[in-house]
């Protein structure tokens, strides 16, 4: 008889965006004429940069010629040309990451979920709350216990480690696996170098590993803020980093990202032997992943050329200007918010002490603007709301006009 993974039955039934989609569908059925503006799902709207398209087309053409056709890539870790390009990109902002520690993948979400395969199910996981839901779900699926570090208004939505540990089953415990995301989804907050140094010291003191999600690093505009955890001393001994071209270069539909597992990162097996996490990860990937397509890797390589950087920066600047317009509106309305400067997300406090789903309903029914209720990202998200800057400029302006009207009414 089949035995299912019962951990799946413990997962939240209604995934956040499904619930939003259902509400939007009902609204549109009731009012088909309403001009809906979507600022909910964090997907990009600008097309790929021309150099990226050209590189993909050229690579596709190579695949149609016997002499240049490519089948499986030998290692599945990514072609050297792309791993070297990513290493060069890291160097450009002061992180020394060797190409051999980088693996190319089909986007950060896969590895956010897959990395947990190399860790025992009895590890305690720490997730900052609110958080990108994949961290919680992928650990619940393996039956791991999770503790939460509160990100809230008081700490600027940048939770710091607790010296006393975290309460779990009536005891104070210290985590073995720590998820950090900076710039943060959903809150837009960014850790400073000093704050990351504190997390690194904490991980070292408690023998923990940090899984650092840098999917939004390209939006950091203040040079003193870190874009990679490897800009901080000692990170290679404790941290794995996941990154993606989805938001950096509009690859949400192309699918390409990269994960760094440093050679320095070690764990101890139950018999006392030292184990290289990079070797475990390579072993896992060797068995379960056959690499990213050649045209996509050539397209990704083009992102890191000088012309590619120039072109993607134009798109990022467009989204940053959207974020600025949103931040300006919230400031004018006297609404507290985080994000927007170094992040494509604006995270604001729901006016009139509304809970976030009620505010979602109000925005949808009164001004036909769709956002994301903060409660969908964890308990500290309730009473807060996320808007994305990835939309069209005119729609962003229109949505802010409507919000002003609603708030002043
Ligand atoms: N990490 C964070 C924090 C995200 O918000 C996202 C996507 O929205 C991802 C990772 C995954 O992105 P992708 O799989 O498209 O690379």
Instruction: Using the 3D structure, point to which of 275, 304, 333 is the last residue of a domain.
Output: 304
What per-residue confidence (pLDDT) applies to 108? 97
Q: Is 133 in the pocket of ligand 1 (CB under 6 A)?
A: no
Whether residue 186 is found in the same domain as residue 316: no
Other C-beta atoms within 10 Å of 256: how many?
24
Q: Is 344 in the pocket of ligand 1 (CB under 6 A)?
A: no
Whether residue 321 is found in the same domain as residue 252: no
Residue 72 near residue 79, CB atoms below 8 Å: no
Omega into 325 within 30° of 0, i.e. cis? no
Distance from the CA of 109 to the center of ligand 1, in angstroms?
5
User: Token digits for 43?
Assistant: 């997907």
Residue 213 — φ and ψ, nearest 5°? -100, 110
Whether residue 144 is found in the same domain as residue 274: yes
d(CA 52, CA 152): 39
Matching residue, tokens 């961290």: 135
352 alpha carbon, distance to own chain's centre: 30
User: Is residue 47 packed enough to be buried (19+ CB in 10 Å), middle (13-18) or exposed (0-12)?
Assistant: exposed
Interaxial angle between packed helices 294-303 and 50-63, expressed in degrees from 0 to 180 and rounded to the nearest 10: 150
Q: Is 312 in the pocket of ligand 1 (CB under 6 A)?
A: no
Matching residue, tokens 């050297």: 80
Whether residue 39 is found in the same domain as residue 118: no
133-161 pLDDT, tens digit per residue, is 999 999 999 999 999 999 999 999 999 99
Of 162, 386, 116, the C-alpha closest to 277 is 116
pLDDT-flagged residues of the chain (< 50): none
CB under 8 A, 24+ apart: contacts of 75-79: 75/291, 76/285, 76/286, 76/289, 76/290, 76/291, 77/102, 77/103, 77/104, 77/282, 77/285, 77/291, 78/102, 78/103, 78/104, 78/258, 78/291, 78/292, 78/297, 79/104, 79/294, 79/297
Residue 78 φ/ψ region, left for φ over 0, alpha for ψ in the -120 to 50 degree band, beta for the rest: left
d(CA 259, CA 229): 12
Residue 172 near residue 165, CB atoms below 8 Å: yes
User: Token digits for 30?
Assistant: 């009731």
Matching residue, tokens 């956010």: 112
Testing ligand 1's pocket by substitution, the residue of 132, 254, 256, 390 carrying the most ligand atoms inside 8 A of its CB is 132
Omega into 64 within 30° of 0, i.e. cis? no
Whether residue 318 is found in the same domain as residue 299: no
Stated length of the chain? 409
281 domain-assigned? yes
What per-residue confidence (pLDDT) applies to 330? 97
Distance from the CA of 311 to the center of ligand 1, in angstroms?
21
What per-residue confidence (pLDDT) applies to 409? 84
Whether residue 154 is found in the same domain as residue 259: yes
Atom in ligand 1 nearest the alpha carbon of residue 252: 15
64-110 pLDDT, tens digit per residue, is 999 999 999 988 999 999 999 999 999 999 999 999 999 999 999 99
User: Token digits for 119?
Assistant: 């860790």
Whether residue 123 is found in the same domain as residue 242: yes
Domain holding 21: CATH number?
3.90.1150.10
Testing ligand 1's pocket by substitution, the residue of 15, 44, 243, 244 carrying the most ligand atoms inside 8 A of its CB is 244
Instruction: Using the 3D structure, point to which of 304, 323, 356 is the last residue of a domain.
Output: 304
User: Token digits for 82?
Assistant: 């792309």
Instruction: Please work out, in degrees rounded to the nearest 5, the angle formed at the alpha carbon of residue 133 by the alpha carbons of 128 and 139.
Output: 80
1 domain-assigned? no
Enclosing domain of residue 160: 52-304
User: Token digits for 75?
Assistant: 């290692």
70 domain-assigned? yes
Q: What is the pTM of this model?
A: 0.97
> What distance, in Å, lies between the first and last C-alpha atoms of the chain?
61
Give the residue, by CA position, lying nearest to ligand 1 atom 11.
Answer: 109
What per-residue confidence (pLDDT) applies to 14? 66
Q: Which distant-in-sequence residues (6+ apart) come within 8 Å of 392 by Cβ?
A: 45
Whether residue 41 is found in the same domain as residue 145: no
Q: Is 109 in the pocket of ligand 1 (CB under 6 A)?
A: yes
**The total number of structural domains that make up the chain:** 2
H or E element that contains 198: helix 193-205
What per-residue confidence (pLDDT) applies to 155? 97
165 domain-assigned? yes
Whether residue 97 is found in the same domain as residue 134: yes
């Amino acid at each position: 008889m089949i035995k299912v993974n019962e951990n799946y039955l413990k997962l939240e039934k209604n995934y956040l965006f499904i619930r939003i989609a259902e509400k939007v569908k009902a609204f549109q059925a009731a009012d088909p004429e309403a001009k809906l503006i979507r600022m909910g799902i964090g997907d990009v709207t600008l097309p790929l940069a021309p150099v990226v398209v050209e590189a993909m087309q050229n690579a596709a053409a190579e695949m149609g010629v016997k002499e240049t056709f490519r089948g499986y890539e030998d290692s599945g870790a990514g072609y050297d040309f792309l791993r070297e390009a990513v290493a060069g990109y890291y160097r450009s902002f002061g992180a020394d990451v060797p190409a051999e520690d980088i693996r190319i993948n089909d986007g950060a979400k896969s590895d956010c979920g897959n990395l947990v395969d190399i860790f025992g199910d009895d590890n305690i996981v720490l997730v900052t709350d609110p958080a990108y839901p994949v961290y919680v779900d992928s650990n619940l699926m393996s039956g791991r216990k999770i503790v939460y570090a509160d990100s809230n208004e008081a700490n600027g939505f940048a939770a710091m480690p607790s010296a006393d540990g975290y309460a779990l089953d009536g005891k104070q415990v210290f985590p073995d696996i720590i998820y950090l995301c900076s710039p943060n989804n959903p809150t837009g907050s960014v850790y400073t170098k000093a704050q990351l140094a504190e997390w690194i010291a904490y991980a070292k003191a408690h023998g923990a590993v940090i899984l650092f999600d840098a999917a939004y690093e390209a939006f950091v505009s203040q040079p003193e803020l870190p874009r990679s955890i490897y800009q901080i001393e000692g990170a290679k001994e404790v941290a794995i980093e996941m990154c993606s071209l989805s938001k950096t270069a509009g690859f949400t539909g192309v699918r390409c990202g990269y994960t760094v597992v440093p050679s320095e990162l070690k764990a101890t097996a139950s018999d006392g032997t030292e184990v290289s996490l990079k070797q475990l990860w390579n072993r896992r990937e060797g068995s379960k992943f056959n690499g990213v397509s050649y045209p996509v890797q050539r397209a990704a390589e083009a992102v890191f050329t000088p012309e590619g950087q120039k072109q993607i920066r134009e798109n990022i600047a467009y989204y940053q200007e959207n974020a600025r317009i949103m931040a300006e509106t919230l400031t004018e309305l006297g609404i507290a918010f985080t994000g927007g400067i170094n992040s494509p997300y604006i995270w604001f406090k729901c006016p009139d002490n509304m809970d976030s789903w009620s505010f979602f309903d109000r925005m949808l029914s009164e001004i036909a603007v769709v956002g994301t209720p903060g409660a969908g990202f964890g308990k500290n998200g309730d009473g807060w709301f996320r808007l994305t800057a990835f939309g069209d400029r005119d729609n962003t302006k229109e949505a802010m006009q409507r919000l002003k009207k609603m708030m002043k009414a």
